[in-house]
Each structure stands twice: as structure tokens, then as C-alpha cells.
Structure 1
Amino acid sequence: MDLNKPSPENAEFMVEEIKKKLRVATGAAIKATHFNEEQFEELKDIYDMVMSKDRFSISEIEAIVSELGKLRKT
């Protein structure tokens, strides 16, 4: 799987992995379908950052979820 290529499958994978890593209680509110190809690069940046860390503070999790919310399609 090449996560550098925008696709619905890659977006789905990254969103699910972000939710798992952050252990987000409101994970159902974050879905890959909320993002389009224009936001793919930003989603990939968030994914890379989340995967590079072992632990997150509550404020970091809130900030990440907030960023994901800002990226959602309107």
C-alpha cells in the first residue's frame, strides 16, 4: 500500500490507524468519507505525525481531533 497516493482506501486506512493510535472515544465521528483528495496531503501529515509518537497528552489528542475536524468536507 502506497500511502502517498490519494485514494479512498488510503484515506480509510490512515483514519482508522489514527483512531486506533489515539484511542479516540468519538471515533465514529471521524470517517474517511469526511475527507476528499484536496485534504489528502494534510491527512497524510497528521497520520505521519501520529504514527511517529508513542504517547499523547490529552491536549495533543484534542488538538489532533480538532485538526481532523477542520479538514472535514463542508
Structure 2
Amino acid sequence: MDLSNKSPENIEFMIEEIKNKLRVVNAAAIKPSHFNDEQYEDLKDIYDMVMKKNTFSISEMEAIVTELGSLRKSEE
């Protein structure tokens, strides 16, 4: 998959892969619709970092989920 292009499909792919890799318990709390093109580069950075690691400590997982939460677009 070519993640160099900003698209809703790529955002959805990255979010789903991050959730799968981290085995997020409350996966419904992190939805691709919560993110837009403005956060794409930050989201891609998180995705790249998550995909490179095989295991995560609890604190690393919490930090990643917290960072994803801070990237969520504000509800209007």
C-alpha cells in the first residue's frame, strides 16, 4: 500500500493496523473518522514507529494511544 498519498483510505488502513498491532481493547474508541489530512504526517510517523517494533510495554502503549487521542480532530 502506498502511504505517501494523503487519503481517507490510507488513514483508515494505518489506524486499523495500529489497533491490530497494539491489540487495542477498546478499538471502537479509535476510529479512522476521528482523523483527517491535517494529522496525516503525525499519524504516519506513529504508524511507522508501531510497525517497526515487535513488542510494546504498557507505558509505550498508553503513550501511543494518548498521542492518537491528541491527534483526533475536534468535534464541530
Could you tell me the TM-score, scaled by structure 2's length?
0.95
Provide the residue aligned with 2:20 in structure 1: 20
Provide the residue aligned with 2:68 in structure 1: 68
Structural mapping, 1:1-74, within 5 Å? 1-74=1-74
Could you tell me the TM-score, scaled by structure 1's length?
0.98
Code of the aligned partner of 2:34: H
In structure 2, stretches of 5+ residues that fail to align are: none
- The aligned length equals 74
What are the superposed Cα offsets for residues 21-60 of structure 1, whole Å, 9 maximum, x if unpaired? Answer: 0001011100111011010000000000000000000000
Instruction: Provide the identity percentage.
Output: 72
In structure 1, stretches of 5+ residues that fail to align are: none
Displaced runs of 4+ in structure 1, greater than 2 A? none
